[in-house]
């Protein structure tokens, strides 16, 4: 049994401690908003916040999350609310297939928590571990800058 | 109970109008655009229209969602079906109220005559004439949604992280499957050690798979299976450093695109050769499918295929089933840019589910399988030559392009064309890739015919009829390469003549829409400044017009700072949707142009992950500016593939303009630039 907090709720995971956190979240916990893209820590689709830091859940074993705080895309904002980054992505229509977006929004939320006034360069740097194949990068950057304005207000 | 008014439209008692379009969402936003068309033709509120994913059991067969044709092809019949539904309901209202149908209006889903009102839900119940026989409502319905930037209908789910992708599908009792692909394309299973009892192995010839109770269990099982298998391997691939020779070696099918009579005129001859490597789809999600065999022998399949009906036929053939016993339903996947692994993984799921004791099986490929086994866009090479007059204008043009074919979709050429089929005990080998016919816009020769008014042009395609590397449709097919080659060469001709590349093009171009698009892009980009590059094409010769201007930074590494594009797609259904498609196409084309190349040795594909097949990152992505040149009275054409070729050419031409290095072989990497300097 592994104890951890997921989206603010204390949980006990029964999967083998060596199981990738991604599989625990998507499988055992039914939180499918976190995506599998590569399993190689190379695309960012599976990013979650671990104690506030974006990490690749595909290569993070459950045991590493023991006693720690995990936040997934479903928990970026309380209940049915949207995090300002999520709202800004919708406002800017910064998505095509949307498969990359969960991980991107997790990276962006971590950035804004750390630095509520990032400039464009900081946003780009914070998202550089996330891949998007549909090419919505510039819309995403615009959206995150816009969300920063909201967060700062 | 929903009232089924046509094959495409049914109306529920709650007033929700379900529309099955037969086209599928590939991340391009087509369902939103079709919902706009449907809502306007119905006179309905967009919020009451629900788009239903394509399916073989209870949806129209509209073939593939491909070729930038969805709005052009699916729009008109959908509009007509919806207009008939509107007319039938209006007629019912008129009958009820004792007025003439002409006195009934409909707005936002409400029918009205004077003070009398009725809804779709009220009227649909009573419509008893077959709607197909009702004449479509006359006059154009009010355009409320068409032409406006309606937000994407699928995005809220995706932004909130709600289950929506096929990867999230969970059928009751579902098992998870993995396939152990051979280590290389020519490999055959030599030996399989007896699997331990707790390992649920499925084997058919060289096809090997395992089942597990969870994703993680399936992954672990796959690791154990890998250690039990021994393979016979052979070298079957060409030399990646000699693709030019490989593509020219034949055997070929010769494709006459433009045939010129007589001898070319005299004058100075200028010539050049261009190439592109094999390219991968490299979707951000690996391919995925689910399948369930029922006790009565029927098969249900969930897929992100571009063509559920074609896939159904291919599956039925490999599995020896009657097509009527196979149901194939679309569920959204990640971005699809052509014929990727979506169809292949559906067969994997069906083969694994056949051995699962009736439990459904959900299969997801690995990143490595996705990058090494899905079909590639073919490598290509082209020779261009021109005879020019004293002013440097073209008197005669000659173009020859060599390529593997660009289509090997399911059922193409009479074969199922599914990957696992080739590995079965009784194999269904996949054939060589072919090309679409001229009326479908060619394949290897797509956009090989120049749009310019050359007095004489000879254009020939040469398609390899043996294809050791599996190739099929990738966004824009041969157009990416052909436009890159033609538009690079136009630049070379302009520079040789000491003329401005934009003016040089305009001097050879009479099509007014083409001229307008070129000028708009140039003006918006501030043409005339040093270092800019331009590229232009009309996709397929009859699709969207698109011109691109690139602004770059280059020393040995090229960075694209800004792309300015002008595009004319005729009537625009959703302006922001078109912009998003053009922006995305431009960014992806930048990635192809600067970074991408499928790597292989003589035995296996070696670009297996994001390090060995790098794609453009946030820090490398250019700003993209899109100018829409509106022609509201001209029929809509698709926008998804229009930017690919023009962007490649614009970047290459900007490199030449900035650092005076002409790179003719893609991708334009540091090595390519050093190589071109010689
Ligand atoms: S899936 Fe974890 S980084 Fe790609
Ligand atoms: S929107 Fe499709 S990968 Fe980013």
Interface test with A, best of B24, B154, B160 (most A CBs within 10 A): B160
Which pLDDT tens digit goes with each residue over A7-48?
A: 999 999 999 999 999 999 999 999 999 999 999 999 999 999
Structural domain count of chain A:
2
Residues in chain B with CB shorter than 8 Å from the CB of A20 are 216
| pLDDT at site B58 | 84
Residues A63 and A92 in one domain: no
Q: Ligand 2 pocket check: which of B25, B27, B157, B615 to mutate, most ligand atoms within 8 Å of Cβ?
A: B27
In three-state secondary structure terms, B363 is: strand
Domains B3-158 and B167-233+285-373 belong to one CATH topology: yes
Cβ–ligand 1 distance for A103 under 6 Å, the answer no
Note whether B647 and B537 are within 8 A (CB).
Answer: no
Contact call for B576 and A73, based on CB within 8 A: no
Of the pLDDT bands very low, low, confident and very high (cuts 50, 70, 90), residue A120 is: very high
- The parent domain of residue A129 ranges over 84-152
Assign residue A96 the CATH number of its domain.
1.10.150.120
Residues in chain A with CB shorter than 8 Å from the CB of B283 are 97, 99, 133
Contacts A–B by Cβ distance under 8 A: 170
Q: Ligand 1 pocket check: which of A34, A41, A107, A130 to mutate, most ligand atoms within 8 Å of Cβ?
A: A41
Last residue of a domain, one of A46, A75, A104: A75
- Domain limits of chain B? 3-158, 167-233+285-373, 250-278+376-406+443-677
Is the pLDDT score of B176 beyond 60? yes
Nearest CA in chain A to B215: A23
Q: Say whether pTM exceeds 0.90.
A: yes
Residues in chain B with CB shorter than 8 Å from the CB of A43 are 284, 367, 610
Tokens (6 digits) for A14: 């029964």
- The C-alpha of A23 sits at a distance from chain B's nearest C-alpha, in angstroms, of 6
Residues A34 and A65 in one domain: yes
Note whether A20 and A58 are within 8 A (CB).
Answer: yes
Q: Considering only B50-64, B213-227, B521-535, B590-604, which range has the smallest mean pLDDT?
A: B50-64
Residues A19 and A47 in one domain: yes
Is the previous residue joined to B168 through a cis bond, with omega within 30 degrees of 0? no
DSSP per residue, chain A: -EEEEETTEEEEE-S-TTSBHHHIIIIIT--TTS--S-SSSSS-TTEEEETTEEEETTSSBGGGGTTSEEE-GGGSSSTT---HHHHHHHHTT--SS-TTHHHHHHHHHHHHHH-SS--HHHHHHHHTT---SS--HHHHHHHHHHHHHHHH-
| pLDDT at site B124 | 87
Last residue of a domain, one of A51, A75, A99: A75
Tokens (6 digits) for B105: 């209006």
- The C-alpha of A153 sits at a distance from chain B's nearest C-alpha, in angstroms, of 22
| pLDDT at site B136 | 65
Residues A119 and A95 in one domain: yes
Assign residue A66 the CATH number of its domain.
3.10.20.30
| pLDDT at site A153 | 63
Q: Using the atom order of ligand 2, give the atom closest to the CA of residue B284.
A: 3
Residues A69 and A122 in one domain: no
Residues A10 and A69 in one domain: yes
- Would you tell me how many other CB atoms lie within 10 Å of the CB of residue B73? 17
Sequence-ordered list of residues with C-beta below 8 angstroms from that of B348, at least 6 positions apart, any chain: B177, B179, B209, B289, B363, B419, B420
Residues A55 and A95 in one domain: no
Contact call for A74 and B160, based on CB within 8 A: yes
B250-278+376-406+443-677 placed in CATH 3.30.365.10: yes
| pLDDT at site B541 | 96
Contact call for A23 and B215, based on CB within 8 A: yes
Last residue of a domain, one of A75, A101, A135: A75
Given CA atoms B115, B118, B123, B129 in this order, what sign does their dihedral have? positive
Ligand 2 first shell, C-beta below 6 A: A 95-100, 132-134, 136; B 27, 284, 334-335
Is the pLDDT score of B403 beyond 90? yes
Residues in chain A with CB shorter than 8 Å from the CB of B367 are 37-40, 42-43
Which pLDDT tens digit goes with each residue over B486-502?
A: 999 999 999 999 999 99
Residues A91 and A129 in one domain: yes
Contact call for B618 and A124, based on CB within 8 A: yes
Which pLDDT tens digit goes with each residue over A64-112?
A: 999 999 999 999 999 999 999 999 999 999 999 999 999 999 999 999 9
Residues A66 and A88 in one domain: no
CATH of domain B3-158: 3.30.365.10
**Distance between CA atoms of residues B479 and B546, nearest Å:** 13
Which of A32, A38, A128 has its CB closest to that of B609? A38
Which of A23, A97, A136 has its CB closest to that of B214? A23
| pLDDT at site B398 | 98
Residues A67 and A90 in one domain: no
- The C-alpha of B242 sits at a distance from chain A's nearest C-alpha, in angstroms, of 29
How distant, in Å, are the alpha carbons of B526, B528, B593 from that of B555? Answer: 22, 21, 16
- In this structure, the dihedral spanned by the alpha carbons of residues A39, A44, A49 and A55, taken in order and rounded to 10 degrees, is 60
Name the fold adopted by B167-233+285-373.
Answer: Aldehyde Oxidoreductase; domain 4 (3.30.365)
Residues A68 and A96 in one domain: no
Residues A25 and A62 in one domain: yes
- The C-alpha of B621 sits at a distance from chain A's nearest C-alpha, in angstroms, of 7
Contact call for A138 and B167, based on CB within 8 A: no
Residues in chain B with CB shorter than 8 Å from the CB of A105 are 159
- What number is the average pLDDT over the span B362-385? 98
């Amino acid at each position: 049994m592994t104890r951890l907090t997921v989206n603010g709720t204390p949980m006990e995971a029964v999967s083998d401690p060596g199981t990738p956190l991604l599989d625990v979240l998507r499988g055992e916990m039914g939180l499918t908003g976190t995506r599998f893209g590569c399993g190689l820590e190379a695309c960012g689709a599976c990013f979650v916040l671990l104690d506030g830091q974006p990490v690749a859940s595909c290569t993070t074993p459950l045991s590493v999350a023991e006693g720690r705080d995990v936040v997934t895309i479903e928990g970026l904002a309380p209940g049915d609310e949207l995090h300002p980054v999520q709202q800004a992505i919708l406002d800017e229509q910064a998505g095509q297939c949307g498969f990359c977006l969960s991980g991107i929004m997790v990276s962006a939320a971590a950035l804004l928590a750390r630095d509520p006034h990032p400039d464009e360069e900081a946003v780009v740097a914070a998202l550089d571990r996330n891949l998007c194949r549909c090419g919505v990068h510039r819309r995403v950057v615009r959206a995150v800058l816009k969300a920063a304005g909201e967060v700062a207000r | 109970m929903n009232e089924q008014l046509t094959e495409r439209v049914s109306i529920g008692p709650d007033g929700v109008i379900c529309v099955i379009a037969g086209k599928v969402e590939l991340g391009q936003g087509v369902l939103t655009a079709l919902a706009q068309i449907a809502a306007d033709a119905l006179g309905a509120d967009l919020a009451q229209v629900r788009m239903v994913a394509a399916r073989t059991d209870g949806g129209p067969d509209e073939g593939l969602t491909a070729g930038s044709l969805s709005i052009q092809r699916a729009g008109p019949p959908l509009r007509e079906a919806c207009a008939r539904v509107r007319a039938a309901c209006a007629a019912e209202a008129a009958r009820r109220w004792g007025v003439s149908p002409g006195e009934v209006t409909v707005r936002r889903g409400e029918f009205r005559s004077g003070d009398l009102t009725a809804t779709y839900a009220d009227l649909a119940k009573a419509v008893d004439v077959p709607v197909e026989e009702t004449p479509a409502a006359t006059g154009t319905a009010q355009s409320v949604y068409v032409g406006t930037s309606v937000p994407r209908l699928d995005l809220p789910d995706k932004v909130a992280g709600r289950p929506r992708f096929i990867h999230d599908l969970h059928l009751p009792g579902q098992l998870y499957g993995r396939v152990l692909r051979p280590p290389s394309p020519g490999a055959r299973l030599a030996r399989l050690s007896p699997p331990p009892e707790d390992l649920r192995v499925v084997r058919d010839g060289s096809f090997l798979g395992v089942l597990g109770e969870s994703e993680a269990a399936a992954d672990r099982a796959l690791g154990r299976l890998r250690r039990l298998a021994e393979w016979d391997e052979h070298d079957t691939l060409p030399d990646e450093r000699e693709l030019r020779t490989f593509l020219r070696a034949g055997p070929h099918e010769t494709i006459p695109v433009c045939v010129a009579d007589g001898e070319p005129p005299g004058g100075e001859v200028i010539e050049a050769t261009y190439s592109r490597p094999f390219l991968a789809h490299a979707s951000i999600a690996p391919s995925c499918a689910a399948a369930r065999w029922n006790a009565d022998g029927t098969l249900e399949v969930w897929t992100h295929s571009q063509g559920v009906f074609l896939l159904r036929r291919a599956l039925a053939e490999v599995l020896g089933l009657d097509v009527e016993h196979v149901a194939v339903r679309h569920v959204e996947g990640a971005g699809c840019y052509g014929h990727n692994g979506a169809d292949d993984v559906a067969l994997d799921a069906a083969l694994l589910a056949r051995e699962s004791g009736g439990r459904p099986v959900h299969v997801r490929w690995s990143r490595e399988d996705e990058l090494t086994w899905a079909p590639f866009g073919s490598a290509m090479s082209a020779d261009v030559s021109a005879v020019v007059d004293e002013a440097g204008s073209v008197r005669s043009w000659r173009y020859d392009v060599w390529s593997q074919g660009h289509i090997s979709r399911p059922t193409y050429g009479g074969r199922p064309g599914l990957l696992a089929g080739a590995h079965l005990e009784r194999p269904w080998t996949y054939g060589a890739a072919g090309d679409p016919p001229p009326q479908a816009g060619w394949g290897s020769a797509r956009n090989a015919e120049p749009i310019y008014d050359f007095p004489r042009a000879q254009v020939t395609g040469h398609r390899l009829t043996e294809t050791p590397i599996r190739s099929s449709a990738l966004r824009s097919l041969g157009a990416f390469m052909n436009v890159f080659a033609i538009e690079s060469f136009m630049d070379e001709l302009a520079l040789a003549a000491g003329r401005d590349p934009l003016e040089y093009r305009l001097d050879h171009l009479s099509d007014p829409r083409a001229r307008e698009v070129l000028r708009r892009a140039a003006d918006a980009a501030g043409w005339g400044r040093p270092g800019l590059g331009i590229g232009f094409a009309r996709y397929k010769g009859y699709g969207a017009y698109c011109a691109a201007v690139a602004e770059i930074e280059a020393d040995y590494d090229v960075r694209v700072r800004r792309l300015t594009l002008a595009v004319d797609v005729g009537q625009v259904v959703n302006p922001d949707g078109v912009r998003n498609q053009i922006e995305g196409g431009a960014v992806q084309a930048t990635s192809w142009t600067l970074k991408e190349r499928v790597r292989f040795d003589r035995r296996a594909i070696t670009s297996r992950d994001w390090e060995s097949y790098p794609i453009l990152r946030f820090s490398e992505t250019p700003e993209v500016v899109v100018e829409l040149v509106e022609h509201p009275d001209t029929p809509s054409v698709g926008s998804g593939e229009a930017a690919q070729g023009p962007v490649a050419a614009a970047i290459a031409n900007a490199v030449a303009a900035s650092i005076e290095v002409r790179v003719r072989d893609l991708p334009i990497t540091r090595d390519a630039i050093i190589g071109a300097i010689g």
